[in-house]
């Protein structure tokens, strides 16, 4: 018999799979198009009878990743206006009070979806956690800054999804008083903003940041991409005029404006804006328990597949150090620790620490609540990717079969067991299985073989930036 659950909008029918119940494509807000385009999310319309929740719902409008990332990172697209939907994996839609995890996907705020096979929540449900994954507006629809529209609409979508979880997750066997919000890359940046947003207060109790530090920009800086698109489209940079543009033309203009940028190399893009409303200009230190960390060689996802790491010579490295005002003593320290490393590798290591590991460590230093720090070090043999950005996802979700493009066919299952177990423990109890952050700076290293807790790894390099 198919599982059913009754939400405030109506009853949904899911599917039983391997002893768990799966509900896909449940709307948590109304379709954000037509008169609702570039507006804050509106409540989902109720329905009569039983609604099938058997297939993934529509994804937000987007273009595929550019080559060669499109071969490494799956990014399925499902057409349709109802892109504000979510998926639920649960041991059973009963009166249980199980821990809940809400997953916010990454993709530079312009790619990705909750429909990616890597994010299948079956293993979490198998281990007693209700997993919810969320689709939200991307790119100019979700994060374009206009004078006549609310900022951070994609973040407001996420808050609407968390509100749905608070109001409805008990019907799926979840505990609304034990919710962990988690995300990777842009999803982690979103989680950091949610931790400080007064609109999200009380909607979750723990947080996980994977490879994404707190990061916001001003309204003026956030509006640059919209202005560039408006110039290309030859229209005013207003939500009213953008709403009148065909969706495909808008995506073409967006791709032209931001297509050459990436998180390490920089360039035009979309950002969460400190608007003083959804995101405070001077955010308070969040109190929720926090698990955070990054991968040892984040930069390699962007530097290696396209050959960037090989094109960076000594002169390019020297110019980059001057551009970003990197002190000579810092550059000497990184070179000395990596004898024989190519200039592109040294630049990538510094960029990873400057943009990811350093900010995440400083966040851990500043927080009064319990914080746990990890580093993922297992190196993929695929295309020389090493311990690159996004590689940990298949291990966290225990979905290595779906991760083969990044991990190769022989990824170590014991490492997935260990990492997945730690995430389950944190969502359940707030303790993932190693020491909380302190003056000794304990870090759990996930690797195979080996791994384990170490104190202050490569701390001399991090402190050199201060």
Residue 272 in domain: no
d(CA 290, CA 302) in angstroms, rounded, equals 27
Where residue 285 falls among pLDDT bands split at 50, 70, 90?
low
pLDDT digit string, tens, across residues 298-336:
999 999 998 999 999 999 999 988 888 888 899 999 999
**Of the residues 141, 184, 298, 349, which is catalytic?**
298
438 is catalytic: no
What pLDDT was estimated at residue 179?
98
Task: Give the DSSP per-residue string, 287-341.
Answer: -SEEEEEEETTTTHHHHSTTSHHHH--HHHHHHHHHHTT--HHHHHHHHHHSTT-
- Same domain as 327, residue 205: no
CATH of the domain at 332: 3.40.50.1820
What pLDDT was estimated at residue 100?
98
What pLDDT was estimated at residue 445?
98
Percent of the chain's residues with pLDDT above 70? 99
- Same domain as 301, residue 202: no
185 is catalytic: yes
pLDDT digit string, tens, across residues 246-275:
999 999 999 999 987 777 777 789 999 999
**Of the residues 105, 205, 271, 389, which is catalytic?**
389
What pLDDT was estimated at residue 289?
93
pLDDT digit string, tens, across residues 19-28:
999 999 999 9
Residue 265 in domain: no
pLDDT digit string, tens, across residues 53-92:
999 999 999 999 988 899 999 899 999 999 999 999 999 9
Q: Are 184 and 356 in contact (CB under 8 A)?
A: no
Pairing of strands 50-52, 11-13: parallel
- Same domain as 224, residue 79: yes
- Same domain as 29, residue 123: yes
Chain mean position to CA 461 = 26
- CA contacts within 13 A on the Cβ side of 81: 11
pLDDT digit string, tens, across residues 135-180:
999 999 999 999 999 999 999 999 999 999 999 999 999 999 999 9
298 is catalytic: yes
pLDDT digit string, tens, across residues 379-418:
999 999 999 999 999 999 999 999 989 999 999 999 999 9
What pLDDT was estimated at residue 220?
96
Q: Are 288 and 208 in contact (CB under 8 A)?
A: no
d(CA 403, CA 420) in angstroms, rounded, equals 14
> C-alpha angle 146/148/149, rounded to 5°?
70
Domain boundary among 238, 258, 278: 258
Overall number of domains in the chain: 2
Radius of gyration of the chain (CA): 22
d(CA 273, CA 280) in angstroms, rounded, equals 9
State residue 246 phi and psi, 5-degree precision: -55, 140
Residue 264 in domain: no
Residue 270 in domain: no
d(CA 303, CA 312) in angstroms, rounded, equals 10
**Of the residues 133, 185, 197, 380, which is catalytic?**
185
Q: What is the mean pLDDT of residues 131-136?
A: 98
d(CA 342, CA 346) in angstroms, rounded, equals 6
Q: Are 185 and 390 in contact (CB under 8 A)?
A: yes
* Domain of residue 143, residue span: 4-258
Whether the per-residue pLDDT at 282 is higher than 80: the answer is no
- Same domain as 165, residue 300: no
- Same domain as 214, residue 117: yes
Residue listed under structure tokens 């960029």: 351
Q: Are 435 and 427 in contact (CB under 8 A)?
A: no
Domain boundary among 240, 258, 276: 258
Residue 266 in domain: no
- Same domain as 63, residue 163: yes
């Amino acid at each position: 018999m198919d599982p059913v659950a009754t939400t405030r909008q109506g009853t949904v029918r899911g599917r039983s799979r391997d002893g768990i119940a799966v509900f896909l494509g449940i709307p948590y807000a109304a379709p954000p198009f037509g008169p609702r385009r570039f507006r804050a999310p509106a409540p989902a319309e109720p329905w009569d009878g039983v609604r099938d929740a058997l297939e993934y719902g529509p994804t937000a409008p987007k273009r595929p990743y550019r080559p060669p990332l499109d071969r490494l990172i799956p990014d399925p697209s499902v057409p349709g206006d109802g892109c504000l939907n979510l998926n639920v994996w649960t041991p059973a839609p009963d009166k249980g009070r199980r821990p809940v995890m809400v997953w916010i996907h990454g993709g530079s705020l312009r790619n990705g979806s909750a429909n990616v096979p890597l994010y299948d929540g079956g293993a979490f449900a198998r281990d007693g956690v209700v997993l919810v994954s969320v689709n939200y507006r991307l790119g100019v629809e979700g994060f374009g800054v206009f004078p006549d529209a609310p900022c951070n609409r994609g973040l407001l979508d996420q808050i609407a999804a968390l509100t749905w979880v608070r109001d409805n997750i008990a019907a799926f066997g979840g505990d609304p008083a034990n919710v962990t919000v988690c995300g990777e890359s842009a999803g982690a940046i979103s989680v950091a903003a949610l931790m400080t947003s007064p609109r999200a207060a009380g909607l979750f109790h723990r947080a996980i940041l994977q490879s994404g530090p707190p990061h916001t920009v001003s309204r003026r800086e956030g509006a640059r991409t919209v202005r560039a698109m408006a110039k290309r489209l030859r229209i005013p940079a207003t939500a009213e005029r953008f709403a009148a543009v065909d969706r495909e033309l808008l995506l073409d203009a967006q791709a032209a404006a931001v297509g050459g940028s990436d998180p390490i190399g920089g360039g035009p893009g979309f950002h969460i804006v400190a608007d003083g409303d959804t995101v405070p200009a001077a955010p308070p230190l969040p109190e929720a328990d926090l698990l955070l960390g990054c991968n040892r060689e984040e930069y390699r996802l962007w530097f290696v597949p396209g050959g960037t790491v090989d094109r960076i010579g000594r002169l390019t490295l020297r110019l980059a150090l001057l551009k970003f005002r990197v002190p000579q003593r810092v550059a000497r320290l990184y070179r000395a620790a990596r004898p024989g490393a190519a200039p592109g590798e040294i630049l990538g290591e510094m960029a990873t620490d400057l943009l990811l590991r350093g900010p995440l460590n400083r966040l851990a230093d500043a927080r009064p609540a319990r914080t746990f720090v990890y580093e993922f070090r297992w190196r993929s043999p695929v295309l020389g990717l090493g311990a690159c950005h996004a590689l940990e996802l298949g291990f966290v979700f225990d979905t290595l079969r779906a991760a083969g493009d990044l991990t190769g066919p022989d990824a170590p299952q014991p490492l997935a067991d260990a990492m997945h177990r730690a995430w389950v423990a944190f969502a359940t109890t707030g303790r993932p299985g190693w020491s909380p952050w302190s003056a000794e700076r304990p870090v759990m290293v996930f690797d195979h073989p080996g791994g384990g807790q170490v104190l202050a790894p490569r701390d001399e390099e991090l402190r050199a930036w201060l």
